[in-house]
Amino acid sequence: MTIKPSNKMSIFSPTIFSQLKAATVKKSATGAKIIDLSLGSPDLPPAEKVRETLSKESAKADMYGYTLGGTERFNEAVAHYYQRRSNVTLNPDTEVLQTMGSQEGLVHLPLAFCNEGDIVLTTNPAYIAYDAGIKLAGAEPYYMPLLAENDFLPDLDSIPAEIAKRAKLLILNLPGNPVPALPSTSFFEKVVRFAKQHNIIVLHDAAYSEYYFIGDAPISFLSTPGAKEIGLEINSLSKSFSLAGARVAYLVGNAKAIQIMREFKSNLDYGIFAPIQEAAIVALDNAEEITDHLRNVFSKRHQIMMNGLKDLGWEVTESHGGMFVWAKYPYAIDDKNFVFEAIDQVGVVMVPGTVFGTEGAGFVRIALVQEIKSLQLSIDLLEQLTIRNT
């Protein structure tokens, strides 16, 4: 019997993370110390009250049935969170939809709204899951470069009229991954005007909304006047509340779009484990206390890594948010070869910029997922690199 993958499998390839893992394992086998700054997986544990809730609820005999989506309590907690944190009013019955992590929602959403040949406006660089969803839907990506002269925000004015006319969906991510650009009220207002003019659905990926180091509240796209008429926001509890493995997230916004996604998801899953939902409710209800600590930790880490790399002669994109550093190294070597050289020589693991798009050439993404002493050590190790310029 011959077993072959489907034609659609051709759009997928082994991820860079599996290759980095293999190189890391090989280096670790030599006894070398490894500092892994690749995956954006929070190293901080969930708050104690969140862990206690998950443990207590999991012990109950009646918590193991299908939930068939988000519970009423979970949807209400999301709505309360948005009202408190962003002054956004949501109807928990019609404007909130739970997803099994944001990646699930991000990959599936183009399938629900795009036909073959439709254009999806996305950024370059961008989180790699966006392309997977676009290609699965048979849509065509149109890449908007993120350039320093535009504060790493996409230039909507430069999109050709014929592209805007064919576009069905616009995907944004602020604060961003890998480039930690921050949103602004004026930019979001421009997005709303653009989307209304061209009848485009907007999806704002707000995975890092609580990773802001200035101001006193996260900026939600939905707080922009008119945003709910054309847009959705997706957020997870992975980054802000250290629940990455729990795989719990939500879409919020336009009621019609939520209804379409709810119908789509009803064919895919039976909901998230109820105790995880209860733990998520506790996290959302205590967001201020939990995320104040998060911001304090990551702001300090950002400063340490940014200043340390600058001292080594690297060009670093300074940001006031996000959980990554986006940096251009001072060597004439392509970024993929560079990261494997860094692992082999000094045991520091980073992600090559071109994984996220062609605009990432010569850059690396560094996740701030280690304690300050480890970040400082990584800087000291990177200073020892001997890269032959090629």
Verify that 202 and 296 share a domain, yes or no: no
pLDDT of 100 higher than 60? yes
Written as six digits, the tokens of 348 are: 């520091």
Verify that 261 and 316 share a domain, yes or no: no
Average pLDDT over residues 339-359: 96
How many separate domains does the chain show?
Answer: 2
CA 27 vs CA 88, 90, 350, 379: distances in Å: 49, 50, 14, 18
Task: State the pLDDT confidence band at 216, using cuts at 50, 70 and 90.
Answer: confident
The answer as to whether 128 is a domain residue is yes
Long-range pairs, 338-343, Cβ under 8 A, ≥24? 338/364, 338/387, 339/20, 339/364, 340/23, 341/385, 341/387, 342/382, 342/385, 343/20, 343/23, 343/24, 343/27, 343/34
Verify that 227 and 343 share a domain, yes or no: no
pLDDT above 90: percentage of residues in the chain: 87
Verify that 258 and 190 share a domain, yes or no: yes
Q: Where are the beta strands (DSSP E) in the chain?
A: 35-36, 96-99, 119-124, 140-145, 167-173, 201-205, 231-236, 249-253, 315-316, 324-328, 348-349, 351-352, 363-367
The answer as to whether 3 is a domain residue is no
Last residue of a domain, one of 226, 251, 285: 285
Written as six digits, the tokens of 245 are: 């493995």
Q: What is the pLDDT of residue 320?
A: 86
Verify that 122 and 262 share a domain, yes or no: yes
pLDDT above 70: percentage of residues in the chain: 99
CATH number at residue 96: 3.40.640.10
The answer as to whether 390 is a domain residue is no
Q: What is the pLDDT of residue 318?
A: 81
Domain limits at 274? 48-285
Written as six digits, the tokens of 284 are: 């959302």
The answer as to whether 120 is a domain residue is yes
Verify that 236 and 130 share a domain, yes or no: yes
Verify that 155 and 197 share a domain, yes or no: yes
Q: What is the pLDDT of residue 242?
A: 93
Q: What is the pLDDT of residue 389?
A: 61
pLDDT of 241 higher than 80? yes
List, in order, residues 6 or more apart from 35 with CB less than 8 Å away.
Answer: 347, 348, 349, 370, 374, 377, 378, 381
- pLDDT tens figures, 12-40: 877 888 899 999 999 999 998 999 999 88
pLDDT of 265 higher than 80? yes
Task: State the pLDDT confidence band at 208, using cuts at 50, 70 and 90.
Answer: very high
- pLDDT tens figures, 58-90: 999 999 999 999 999 999 999 999 999 999 999
Q: What is the mean pLDDT of the chain?
A: 94
- pLDDT tens figures, 172-182: 999 999 998 88
Verify that 258 and 222 share a domain, yes or no: yes
pLDDT of 390 higher than 60? no
Average pLDDT over residues 264-272: 93
Strand partners, 90: none
The answer as to whether 266 is a domain residue is yes
The pTM of the full predicted model, rounded to 2 decimals, is 0.94
Mapped onto helix, strand or coil, the DSSP state of residue 382 is helix
Token pair 């990177």 in the structure block, residue: 382
